[in-house]
Amino acid sequence: MAITKSAKKALRQSIRRRAKNLAYKDKIKSLLKEARSLVSQKKIKEAKALLSKIYKALDKAAKKGVIKKNTASRKKSRIAKAMLR
């Protein structure tokens, strides 16, 4: 357990940051999962409507440092490629 005042504050901050980071990641995962299920059901039009939300979530997460920039680019590329098939 944290002893010093600064260690206690750092612990509070890391707990808060972890919660926010997990929220970003959960949002991304759920959007990608939804898009993949739509693509597998051949509902391409609905999946393409979801594409802008996916891009926004990935770009925001990359900007905040939750995921790396290249990871966001890779995920965007792969989901767009899946929709073209």
In order along its 85 residues, the chain shows pLDDT tens digits of: 889 999 999 999 999 999 999 999 999 999 999 999 999 999 989 999 999 999 999 999 999 999 999 999 999 999 999 998 8
Domain count, the chain: 1
Domain interval for residue 30: 23-84
Residue 9 resides in a domain: no
CA 9 from chain center: how many Å?
27
Burial (Cβ within 10 Å: 0-12, 13-18, ≥19) of residue 9: exposed
pLDDT confidence of residue 85: 80
CATH number at residue 30: 1.20.58.110
Residue 15 belongs to a domain: no
Q: CB of 47 within 8 A of CB of 4?
A: no
For residue 75, with 0-12 CB atoms within 10 Å meaning exposed, 13-18 middle and 19 or more buried, which class applies? buried
Look at residue 2 in the predicted model and tell me its pLDDT. Answer: 85
- What is the reported pLDDT for 9? 96
